[in-house]
Chain A
């Protein structure tokens, strides 16, 4: 019933199901980590917007919780690195 949504992650085009969150599309594409934290890589932890582990940059806007933001066709996702 749901269609497809395509997003660009670090210059790679991946597709998910329309209605999925960015985290859902990333996980559906086989990724489980996409942010570099102080001690290693992080992906989804709480899944409901509480922990901020899954932050990504979306269309140039930093600090977006991937588990809360619905993926929109053409979204450009960039990894975030915490120094």
Chain B
């Protein structure tokens, strides 16, 4: 029997599990959350307001299909490898995890060996740095959503929501449902881009038709102002958020001088996009493609990555929303279990996936991050939150290779391992290199800047020596200890080459 391992228990991972089981495979699913569902179906019975949930019947059906699967919730998977050739039995994919309460000292090691793996690790919010964004009261939009859904609380009483993309709407709705006043939703994109990107069916990304109408209804019902071409350019406060400066943004997201105004609030929720969680795919050797604006796992029509037996589905292959993730997950699960591409069981999922992919491209065009945002940073704005590294310190060392810059400034070397600031640091470095090149030899400026930015490898900050935070003692468990190199918090030498 084919054994399929699945990394991630959100829509993509659950759909993959269901499909692989239906095709007769044995399935092991590993998910970091205490409860399955991922970000989309984050919930807690008795706490979550059902109005915040969408497609929950589908979720319950997926859970119901997992009876024959081995499921590990609370699993921090810290290593994912392909074992070389030969057949030692048990399959070539080797995943190592510790399972238990989050960050507990007594988690137990689990090693999974499988014939195939579906990487469905999802994405997290991308909040761009803004002066003042380290003040308590500033969170990502995803945090506001998670706290509302899972804990039934909001960080502030008056929250400003800002960033880009349709995901800001359900966040505003959830905040309103837990009793917070949403003082405004500020969407950085402008009408033209929105119209081009969203038409003709803008609601598709948010799920089945009607969902967008529901969010718009919530905005109206809760009297929430919705502004386009607008963003937070500064957060005000001494010990916590006391207000925010919003400004009009031009098409490149550069603040328009003279349009600033202060909005009184005690919380700011920022969500400028999403960063796929690529590290497991990268550790498995899968090719990733793109640049700092968007880097994703390369997959073919069968959701196969460039590594044999490794499939990927959901946001790691492109930000497409829950319906796309469900379809991709089903395709990956069926194929990983050995079904052929033309098997009739794949037909529905293939159709949905292709439609959602087209929509995702339109949305990226409409809401994708524009380079002008760096204009709202001051030199002393903290960019790397873990190590308190400023924009000025990063830009100053933009000319040296990325790895040397990081070692000199410590940008991206803190506990989050650049998950929070990586994209922003890359953007600041690229911008500084480009402007240095312009003032220098104009002829080779662009090529030189690009070559420099690419010289650190196509994966930029996304390669990580450990996939999840684990304690040193846990790595020393007798289930094959990690190499000493991997225990070092600093970048192991082999990793950024």
Contact = CB atoms under 8 A, between A and B. Distances in A.
Contact of A47 (B136, B143, B152, B385): B143
Which applies to chain A's interface (DSSP): helix, strand, loop or mixed?
A: loop
Interface string A47-83: 1111111010000010111011110000000000000
Contact of B101 (A32, A33, A38, A70): A70
Interface stretch (B39-47, B183-191, B452-460): B39-47
A31 to B, nearest CB: 9
Given A51-B385, A69-B103, A23 B45 contact: no
Interface in B113-145: 124-125, 127, 134-140, 142-145
Contact of B47 (A19, A44, A50, A52): A19
B152 A24 contact: yes
A50 B419 contact: yes
A21 B143 CA distance: 13
Contacts of B387: 38
Nearest to B414: A52
A83 to B, nearest CB: 13
B5 to A, nearest CB: 21
A17 interface: yes
A55 B145 CA distance: 20
Contacts of B415: 52, 55, 63
A72 B135 CA distance: 28
Contact of B137 (A21, A25, A32): A32
Which applies to chain B's interface (DSSP): helix, strand, loop or mixed?
A: loop
A51 B416 contact: yes
B385 A45 contact: yes
B36 to A, nearest CB: 14
A69 B102 contact: yes
Contacts of A51: 140, 385-386, 416, 419-420
A33 B137 CA distance: 8
B262 interface: no
B172 interface: no
B155 interface: yes
B47 A2 contact: yes
Contacts of B414: 52
Contacts of B134: 37, 39-40, 42
Nearest to A31: B136
A27 B103 contact: no
B142 A46 contact: yes
B103 A64 contact: yes
B104 interface: yes
A51 B127 CA distance: 11
Contact of A33 (B146, B240, B382, B420): B240
Tell which of A2, A50, A67, A69 has the most Cβ of chain B within 10 Å.
A50
Nearest to A53: B385
B388 A38 contact: yes
A55 to B, nearest CB: 8
Give 8 nearest A-B pairs by CB, closest first: A24-B151, A47-B143, A68-B102, A33-B136, A1-B46, A2-B46, A52-B415, A47-B146
26 contacts: A1-B45, A2-B45, A2-B47, A17-B46, A17-B47, A21-B151, A24-B150, A24-B153, A32-B136, A32-B240, A38-B387, A38-B388, A43-B136, A43-B155, A44-B147, A45-B139, A45-B420, A46-B124, A46-B139, A46-B420, A47-B143, A50-B420, A51-B416, A52-B414, A69-B101, A69-B104
